[in-house]
A and B are shown apart, each in its own frame.
Chain A
């Protein structure tokens, strides 16, 4: 099971439809079993074998002021994927610092190093939506961007990834790839993708 953490300003917020539900849907379409909770609701459940920390709206940086809520990350033993705000949380836990950097664009990004999550070096189009970025944590590899402004990072020893762009836009294959890294269920266990609507 993969645990998806909602980093938006409050549980069950209006932003959840935009930043959490598409991630959940993509993981389910990849065959993974998924649980979801707001970051203030505690660490992932024991059954989780991977976790995704989602992004937030541009105006929403509340998660950055709540370091205690993420202290479980230090001892977490399974793969982690931080998306945008989630990358900032992971990298900060690993000793990197946040800095202001606004980007609202859909543009090409060069993957410069191979990894199990992003595959071989190549250029992919990516959706960027952030007002903060984070430096490269010590001991982490930069997979895209530059060490001063990394856009994808990887800590191989702990299987932790951070991506500054939003994979739910045109790059859901990254979420499929993460589901595989977590030992997600095969595609023949695919569940209907209609669970984000109608509630």
Chain B
């Protein structure tokens, strides 16, 4: 099958893409770029770097604008998927949804209406096992946004290594956060992955943070060598 990947640049979409590539051809990455940073559906920090991510993954990329307003963005997604399906001859769509029924039902409906398959290879995955798999399989992931207590400024730009996963598991026990950020607690950016031809390197970054909400903004991103 030829599949299109809903791609935010976060760990879930990169890992789901990696899984999809083991079974089918991922013919394009589709990023919806919201004007509204509170988008219900689409991840926002550092989304402007997704074209470079697509380049190191060797997959065509489509950046599609969306209002980012609840439900309106679904019609944007519908249009974007239809366009990609025609342009790249897609048989289906892949998402990185883990537990969001809101996200899953809406993408399923759009795909069904367009006669496309819908794949969610991380659906209902055990979140801690998933984080450990990322670390063990060579995904270089950094925290690019925090949006919940007790995630403080120190998390911004932090690598998701075994120690970070252990800490997130501890915070889940104490504060009930979703360790993979499925509840919107944190956002991530993937600097390297098995499906990358070359790693990405943060050359310049800045942090904004206030009251347990902050963003690690990558101001300049380069391509490194292995």
Q: Are B101 and A57 in contact (CB under 8 A)?
A: no
Top 3 closest A-B pairs, CB basis? A194-B129, A22-B124, A198-B133
B117: Cβ under 8 A from any A Cβ: yes
A104: Cβ under 8 A from any B Cβ: yes
Other-chain residue from A59, A169, A196 in contact with B101 (beta carbon distance below 8 A): A169
Within 8 A of A (CB), among B116-152: 116-126, 128-130, 132-133, 136-137
Q: Are A15 and B105 in contact (CB under 8 A)?
A: no
A38: Cβ under 8 A from any B Cβ: no
A 6-47 binary contact with B (CB < 8 Å = 1; else 0) = 000000011101100110010000000000000000000000
Q: Are A106 and B108 in contact (CB under 8 A)?
A: no
Q: Are A197 and B125 in contact (CB under 8 A)?
A: yes
**Chain A residues within an 8 Å CB radius of B115:** 59
**Other contacts beyond A17-B120, A59-B115: 11, CB < 8 A:** A14-B119, A14-B121, A25-B124, A57-B118, A106-B101, A129-B108, A131-B112, A193-B126, A194-B133, A197-B130, A198-B133
**Chain A residues within an 8 Å CB radius of B123:** 17-18, 22
Q: Are B108 and A17 in contact (CB under 8 A)?
A: no
**Chain A residues within an 8 Å CB radius of B108:** 58, 104, 129
Other-chain residue from A18, A21, A22, A197 in contact with B119 (beta carbon distance below 8 A): A18
Q: Please give the residue numbers on chain A whose beta carbons come within 8 Å of chain B beta carbons, in ascending order.
A: 13-15, 17-18, 21-22, 25, 57-60, 102, 104-106, 127, 129, 131, 168-170, 192-198
Q: Are B105 and A106 in contact (CB under 8 A)?
A: yes
**Chain A residues within an 8 Å CB radius of B136:** 198
Closest beta carbon of chain B to A104's beta carbon, Å: 5
B85: Cβ under 8 A from any A Cβ: no
B19: Cβ under 8 A from any A Cβ: yes
Closest beta carbon of chain B to A101's beta carbon, Å: 13
Within 8 A of A (CB), among B62-88: none
Contact A58:B132 (CB < 8 A) given known A25-B126, A168-B124, A194-B126: no
Q: Are B137 and A194 in contact (CB under 8 A)?
A: no
Q: Are B129 and A17 in contact (CB under 8 A)?
A: no
CA of A90 to CA of B150 in the docked complex: distance in angstroms? 48
Main DSSP-derived SS at the A contact region: loop
CA of A104 to CA of B108 in the docked complex: distance in angstroms? 7
**Chain B residues within an 8 Å CB radius of A59:** 92, 112, 115-118
Q: Are A104 and B109 in contact (CB under 8 A)?
A: yes
Closest beta carbon of chain B to A132's beta carbon, Å: 13
CA of A129 to CA of B126 in the docked complex: distance in angstroms? 21
CA of A52 to CA of B92 in the docked complex: distance in angstroms? 27
Closest to B94 in A: A14
Closest to B106 in A: A104
Closest beta carbon of chain A to B153's beta carbon, Å: 30
Closest beta carbon of chain B to A69's beta carbon, Å: 22
Closest to B23 in A: A14
B24: Cβ under 8 A from any A Cβ: yes
**Chain B residues within an 8 Å CB radius of A60:** 117
CA of A196 to CA of B133 in the docked complex: distance in angstroms? 10
**Chain B residues within an 8 Å CB radius of A58:** 108, 111-112, 117-118
**Chain A residues within an 8 Å CB radius of B128:** 194
**Chain A residues within an 8 Å CB radius of B94:** 14
B215: Cβ under 8 A from any A Cβ: no
Contact A196:B20 (CB < 8 A) given known A59-B92, A104-B108: no
Q: Are A18 and B121 in contact (CB under 8 A)?
A: yes
CA of A131 to CA of B137 in the docked complex: distance in angstroms? 36
Closest to B136 in A: A198
